[in-house]
Amino acid sequence: MVSKQDLVQIAPYLYECAPSVSPIMRVPARVYADDALLDMAWEDRAVEQLVNTASLPGIVGYA
């Protein structure tokens, strides 16, 4: 399970979750959002789904 502390803001409106957060992640997961949108993404578990996407076989770069 990913927590808000796992997201690091790397630019305005850009947050990244490193692959070290979950043993199944193959690439970093990036979220482009302001604070309000990020809160909504947590509520509907979109960030968790993004982490799942980052674990798919064949993915390269960022999820």
Q: DSSP letter string over 22-37?
A: STT--S-EEEE--HHH
pLDDT, tens digit (0-9, with 9 covering 90-100), for 3-58: 889 999 999 999 999 999 889 999 999 999 999 999 999 999 999 999 999 999 99
Give the pTM.
0.87
pLDDT at 13: 97
pLDDT at 4: 87
pLDDT at 25: 94
